[in-house]
Structure 1
Amino acid sequence: MKEITRRKFIATATVATGFALAVQPISAGVITTDAKGLVAGAVKIPVKDGEIPAYRAAPSTGDNFPIILVIQEIFGVHEHIQDITRRFARLGYLAIAPELFVRQGDVSKLSNIDEIRPIVAKVPDAQVLSDLDATLNWAKKSAKGNGEKLGITGFCWGGRIIWLYAAHNPQVKAGVAWYGRLVGDATELQPKYPVDIASKLTVPILGLYGGKDTGISLDTVEQMRERLQSSSSKSEIIVYPNAPHAFFADYRPSYREKEAQDGWKRLLAWFKQNGV
């Protein structure tokens, strides 16, 4: 897929409608959260080189909402990620999911994950962290968000970013990382992995991982746990022994209802106990 030029992405980029093509067919038991009583939909976030699209959801009345940044999977900000923001909004949060791949391409329109991976590989960590800073700034200035109560959560690709953003921005009160990769080979675009920043982390992060995740070995999870012991963050990692990768993704065959529900309860408790 041809990379989107910076000039073009500002004018044409939008959040996805429906589910990403690469995740069809959708499971019959997919969770759907309606927008009744919410302000929900696409917004534009001003960033250094223009603006990026995002999906946000919040209660339709009130202000000073705690903020949750929701970080996408490899499939982009498609319906599943949008639904998660609405779940948070129903609990009184302002939840925002920015499109973090938009300069590199529209992954929602690609039907094969082998087409998606090269697009995502071109996304610099520095760009992602900067875009998340801009999203937070927008939430505080334009969407009635309370920057003193900031939480982050993300899935798969976004799960890795949770650890990195918490190290980048200590204003984060707490984060929950769902099955994000912990180790990897450093590159110019992705110079560090969570294991590299673990010992210096100050933000409490809850990591939720699957014992049968074929892409994230338990050896790397244990390596992360060991590094976290020397940090002041009081972070924790939970491993669900029988869960595969993407066990929270209710639209996919990998979904495991018991583990997903338990993880969601732990997420909400983690945010609450850490002031989000």
Structure 2
Amino acid sequence: MDDHGTDKDQRSKGLGGLDGLVVPPFSRRGFVMTSLIAGFTLAEANAQAQVVTTDSAGLVAGEVKIPAADGPMPGYRAMPEGAGPFPLILVIEEIFGVHEYIKDVCRRLAKVGYCAVAPELYARQGDLSKMTHVKAIVRDVILKTPDAQWIADLDAASSWAIADSKADAGRIGTMGWCRGGRGAWLYAAHRRDLKAAVAWYGPLGGDRTELQPKTAGDVATDLHAPLLAIYGGADTGIPVASVEDARDRANAAGRSVELVVFPEAPHGFHADYRPSYRKDSAEQGWARALAFLKSHGVG
């Protein structure tokens, strides 16, 4: 088996340390989304004036097509100009798709030397570019996306980036926000060669289903990579105590989880296009995240 999670035996037996996660047969209809969202998500009508915009000067940045098991998967890549190899960050989106905020995050990472790749992980389940209601996104797209599917897609994005972008196979990390923060926990429990993971306010609990059999809290003791957990103390949906419990269980099991809590920050405090944005906490969290990645060999 290779180190990048693309071996067929791994796909048939399960994914990494996540027992029972078997890649399901892909939909015959293929990808519903064949390109990324232009601008911001339609599900957030209150885009704020504090939106952070990162230019692409000195970068190779734009929409890409990533070879997946059942066809080309849309995604966004940003990396410095030059030969590389560059450390690789797999960016895991929020529930709203790879829209301008996620694209800008990729450019921010590229500006400090990373190859950042954000695959559209929900492209098979629904067209997020046309969806305007959060409840519908969660019901019709998010909860119908098998964990095994998006994990395999992240593996595919990694393999593509290493081959196409000359990303460094020995320096791979991941960073995710909200539902993508949950994804960072699960991916760190899947990928054995991952160097570091950063989870921004990812939920630790939730329902267990056939498609999504484990919560992020369930896999805290199975992490293969050090994880930085960045959370808001004013997040009404994620009790800090639940994150502290996951951290303590992980560390007691010999894993490594660091927790940073910004006491006054609500959920979504890094999302600069939303009213939940808190500039100071977002900037401090970003600095902590970059330092964490570098301290664990991704940089």
Match of 1:53 among 74, 86, 91: 74
What residue number does 2:120 align with?
Answer: 99
Match of 1:62 among 83, 92, 105: 83
Q: Does 1:113 align with 2:134?
A: yes
What residue number does 2:296 align with?
Answer: 274
Q: Does 1:86 align with 2:107?
A: yes
- List structure 1 runs of 4+ shifted beyond 6 angstroms: none
Q: Is contact 2:194–2:224 with CA below 8 Å preserved after alignment?
A: no
Structure 1 range deviating more: 37-46 or 71-80: 37-46
Q: Is contact 1:172–1:203 with CA below 8 Å preserved after alignment?
A: yes
Match of 2:281 among 259, 265, 269: 259
Cα distance, 1:201–1:26 mapped onto 2, change above 3 Å: same
Unpaired runs of 5+ residues, structure 1, are: none
Count residues with an aligned counterpart: 272
Match of 1:232 among 245, 250, 254: 254
What residue number does 1:194 align with?
Answer: 216
Partner deviation per Cα, 1:80-130 (whole Å, 9 max, x = no partner): 000000001111110000000010001132111122111111000000110
For residues 64 and 163 of structure 1, the distance between their equivalents in structure 2, rounded to whole angstroms, comes to: 26
For residues 83 and 38 of structure 1, the distance between their equivalents in structure 2, rounded to whole angstroms, comes to: 12
Q: Is contact 1:201–1:231 with CA below 8 Å preserved after alignment?
A: no
Aligned amino acid, residue 257 of structure 2: S
Structure 1 range deviating more: 119-128 or 105-114: 105-114
Unpaired runs of 5+ residues, structure 2, are: 1-25
What residue number does 1:38 align with?
Answer: 59
Structure 1 residue 8, shift from structure 2 partner: 4.7
Aligned amino acid, residue 229 of structure 1: N
Structure 1 residue 194, shift from structure 2 partner: 1.7
Q: Does 1:23 align with 2:44?
A: yes
* Identity over aligned pairs, percent: 51
What residue number does 2:21 align with?
Answer: none
What residue number does 2:176 align with?
Answer: 154
Aligned amino acid, residue 254 of structure 2: S
SS in 2 for 1:89: helix
Q: Is contact 2:79–2:107 with CA below 8 Å preserved after alignment?
A: yes
Aligned amino acid, residue 162 of structure 2: K
For residues 165 and 228 of structure 1, the distance between their equivalents in structure 2, rounded to whole angstroms, comes to: 15
Q: Is contact 1:195–1:227 with CA below 8 Å preserved after alignment?
A: no
Q: Is contact 1:202–1:232 with CA below 8 Å preserved after alignment?
A: no
What residue number does 1:243 align with?
Answer: 265
For residues 265 and 211 of structure 2, the distance between their equivalents in structure 1, rounded to whole angstroms, comes to: 31
Q: Is contact 1:202–1:231 with CA below 8 Å preserved after alignment?
A: no
Partner deviation per Cα, 1:214-241 (whole Å, 9 max, x = no partner): 1111231222122112233321111111
Q: Is contact 1:75–1:107 with CA below 8 Å preserved after alignment?
A: yes
What residue number does 2:9 align with?
Answer: none
Q: Is contact 1:52–1:99 with CA below 8 Å preserved after alignment?
A: yes
Q: Alpha carbon RMSD of aligned pairs, Å?
A: 1.4
SS in 2 for 1:23: coil
Q: TM-score, normalised by structure 1?
A: 0.95
Aligned amino acid, residue 44 of structure 2: V
Q: TM-score, normalised by structure 2?
A: 0.88
Structure 1 residue 195, shift from structure 2 partner: 1.5
For residues 6 and 110 of structure 1, the distance between their equivalents in structure 2, rounded to whole angstroms, comes to: 22
Match of 1:175 among 175, 186, 197: 197
Cα distance, 1:169–1:192 mapped onto 2, change above 3 Å: same
